[in-house]
Amino acid sequence: MSAAQSASPSPALPPALPPAGAIEVAAQVVRQGRSESTQECVAQEVAVSLELEGTPHVVMLATPADLEDFALGFCLTEGLIDEPAELERCEIRLREKGIVLALYRSPGGAARSAERGEVPRRNLTGRTGCGLCGTDDLDRVIRLPEQALPSTPIRADALERAMKELGSRQPLGQATGATHAAAFCALDGQIRLVREDVGRHNALDKLIGALLRSDVDPAAGFVAVTSRASVEMVQKTALAGVSILAAVSAPTQLAIQCARDANLLLAGFVREDRATIYAGASRVQVGD
Mean pLDDT of the chain: 89
Chain centroid, CA 151 distance in Å: 23
* CA-based nearest residue to 218, from 80, 76, 109: 76
Which pLDDT tens digit goes with each residue over 213-259?
998 999 999 999 999 999 999 999 999 999 999 999 999 999 999 99
pLDDT at residue 108, rounded to an integer: 85
Res. 138 pLDDT band, cuts 50 70 90: very low
Helix axes 200-213, 231-239, angle to 10 degrees: 0
pTM, 2 dp? 0.89
Helices (H), 12-96: 67-77
Active site residues: 130
Average pLDDT over residues 114-135: 55
Residue of 121 and 188 predicted with greater confidence = 188
pLDDT at residue 136, rounded to an integer: 46
pLDDT at residue 8, rounded to an integer: 57
Which pLDDT tens digit goes with each residue over 22-51?
999 999 999 999 999 999 999 999 999 999
Res. 109 pLDDT band, cuts 50 70 90: confident
pLDDT at residue 196, rounded to an integer: 98
**pLDDT at residue 118 greater than cutoff 90:** no
